[in-house]
């Protein structure tokens, strides 16, 4: 049976603990004991919401099931302060941009930092990507009817972002086919503070981050990532969590596109209280990257079971998927993928729907194994479920074989340039939480500079995620690049 969701728009995936508590109480008033999280950082409730039951109906944008338009804005605010970032792009800058949106746009808008990997850059119709120039953004456009993405021929000023989005939405009725038409019309209609593009966008390669557990920020604070494999966040837990946030003077909670929550700014003197809070409720915050790096449809039991089957095979074969992400999709749904490897479930032939036949799948992978390339290569088609583990292991080996090699860039000048960096041959993994120490990147949390080999780390070194000792790390020889 097809399940439907009411969506609550959470601009940029950021809200206060009080706001989340209000939404949780709304879900309970509708008869639901849990909420789910969407891939565009929105909140999903598996009930029809009656606005009369919600005292804050004017405060939140509630989108009823199967309603077209009213898309949530995706932002990488969640990554600010905890992952690599463009120096000028602080959490406050994101909030200033998000405040410009009075109503949710009907186009998908992404507002992101190219130096982080947690939030996809190009899954929107309008993709604002931070440039090296303070308060200026690249704009990559792919309107719903366009086949290719095109770059806007000027940088957009931070305070003009909202105005530009609403102006482009007004242009849709004229069905623009080229970015130059949009540029010319906006230049005449708006007084914006544009800047000339003096060099193309560069997107450095970084491995996909570990986004769960209690982690250090500097010396005095922590951030906490919470992930439920079934994407059902129970209301009783969330209300208690929001109350603890208030007691810890935490102002914001963030939703990731990977359907998890991140709480930043937990003070050092509250860390023990948070650990007790999680432990008493039996909350596991040590999932391995084998399980975390998946994007699957909301409340789809078949997809969840397939993921469990594949993760179990990876685990049994002791396979590393460090740096890879996976997604399970229906082949009839045209999705804007943002994972490294795509597993498409094929639709049964029309004439055979009444006959029980085995499901078949297609496997695709991103060009250069970089989902920001937005180009996917078909690996195999129409294979059985039992063939998938071996084929995915084959793809993981292909990924590590090519890692660090220079790849031919697309010839389209409007495409961003990607810089590939060599990963160190010495990658060490924590046995307790499976986090990685990579000498090329060092360890910002422990103030270890890039380039320092694991052997030369002090004996007092500890895992930045779970604080396990240096002796708890083991070398992953299968990850070495030849």
For 452-474, write each residue's pLDDT tens digit: 888 888 888 888 777 888 988 88
Q: 18 — phi, psi (to 5°)?
A: -65, -40
Mean pLDDT of the chain: 86
Q: Which two tokens stand for residue 438?
A: 């990579």
pTM passes above 0.85? no
For 204-224, write each residue's pLDDT tens digit: 888 899 999 999 988 889 999
Beta carbons within 8 Å of 142's beta carbon, 6+ residues apart:
122, 124, 125, 127, 148, 149, 150
Average pLDDT over residues 337-343: 91
Architecture of domain 422-482: Single Sheet (2.20)
Which band of pLDDT confidence, cut at 50, 70 and 90, is reported for residue 436? confident
Task: Say which residue, 350 or 237, is predicted with more confidence.
Answer: 237
Q: Provide the pLDDT for residue 426.
A: 59
Highest mean pLDDT among 60-69, 175-184, 430-439 belongs to 175-184
CATH fold of the domain at 6-204 = Sulfite Reductase Hemoprotein; domain 1 (3.30.413)
All CATH 3.30.413 domain ranges of the chain, comma separated, are 6-204, 291-408
Domain 213-290: assigned CATH number: 3.90.480.10
Please say if the pLDDT value at position 74 is more than 60: yes
Handedness of CA 148, 154, 155, 159 (dihedral sign): negative
Q: Provide the pLDDT for residue 449.
A: 79
Pairing of strands 376-384, 360-366: antiparallel
Q: Provide the pLDDT for residue 415.
A: 43
Which band of pLDDT confidence, cut at 50, 70 and 90, is reported for residue 317? confident
Distance of CA 56 to the CA centre of its chain: 28
Highest mean pLDDT among 104-108, 195-199, 461-465 belongs to 195-199
Architecture of domain 291-408: 2-Layer Sandwich (3.30)
Q: Provide the pLDDT for residue 351.
A: 53
């Amino acid at each position: 049976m097809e399940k439907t969701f009411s969506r609550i728009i959470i601009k940029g995936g950021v809200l206060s603990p009080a706001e989340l508590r209000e939404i949780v109480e709304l879900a309970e008033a509708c008869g639901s004991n849990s909420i789910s999280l969407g891939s565009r950082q929105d909140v999903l409730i598996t009930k029809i919401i009656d606005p009369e039951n919600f005292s804050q109906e004017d405060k939140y944008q509630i989108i009823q099931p199967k309603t077209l338009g009213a898309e949530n804005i995706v932002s990488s605010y969640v990554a600010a302060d905890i992952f690599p970032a463009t120096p000028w792009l602080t959490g406050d800058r994101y909030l200033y941009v998000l405040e410009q949106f009075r109503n949710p746009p009907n186009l998908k808008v992404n507002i992101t930092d190219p130096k982080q990997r947690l939030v996809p850059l190009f899954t929107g119709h309008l993709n604002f990507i931070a440039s090296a120039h303070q308060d200026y953004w690249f704009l990559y456009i792919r309107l719903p009817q366009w086949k290719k993405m095109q770059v806007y021929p000027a940088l957009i000023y931070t305070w003009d972002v909202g105005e530009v989005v609403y102006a482009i939405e007004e242009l849709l009725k004229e069905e623009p086919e080229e970015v130059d038409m949009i540029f010319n019309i906006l230049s005449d209609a708006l007084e914006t503070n544009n800047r000339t593009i003096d060099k193309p966008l560069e997107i450095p390669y970084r491995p996909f981050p570990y986004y769960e557990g209690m982690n250090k920020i500097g010396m005095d604070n922590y951030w906490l990532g919470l992930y439920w494999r079934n994407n059902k966040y129970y209301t009783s837990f969330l209300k208690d969590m929001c109350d603890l946030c208030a007691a810890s003077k935490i102002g914001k909670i963030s939703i990731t596109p990977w359907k998890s929550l991140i709480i930043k700014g937990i003070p050092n003197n509250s860390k023990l209280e948070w650990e007790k809070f999680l432990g008493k409720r039996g909350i596991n915050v040590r999932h391995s990257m084998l399980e975390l790096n998946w994007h699957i449809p909301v409340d789809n039991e078949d997809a969840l079971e397939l993921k469990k089957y594949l993760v179990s095979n990876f685990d049994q074969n002791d396979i590393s998927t460090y740096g890879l992400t996976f997604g399970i999709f229906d082949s009839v749904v045209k999705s804007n993928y943002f994972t490294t490897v795509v597993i498409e479930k094929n639709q049964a032939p029309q004439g055979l729907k009444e006959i029980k036949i085995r499901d078949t799948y297609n496997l695709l992978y991103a060009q250069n194994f970089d989902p920001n390339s937005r180009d996917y290569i078909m690996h195999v088609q129409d294979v059985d479920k039992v063939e998938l583990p071996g084929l995915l292991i084959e793809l993981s080996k292909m990924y590590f074989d090519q890692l660090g090699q220079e790849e031919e860039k697309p010839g389209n000048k409007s495409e961003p340039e990607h810089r590939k960096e060599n990963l160190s041959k010495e990658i060490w993994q924590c046995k307790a939480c499976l986090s990685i120490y990579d000498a090329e990147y060092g360890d910002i949390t422990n103030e270890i500079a890039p380039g320092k080999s694991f052997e030369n780390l002090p004996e007092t070194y500890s895992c930045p995620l779970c604080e396990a000792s240096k002796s708890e790390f083991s070398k992953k020889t299968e990850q070495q690049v030849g």
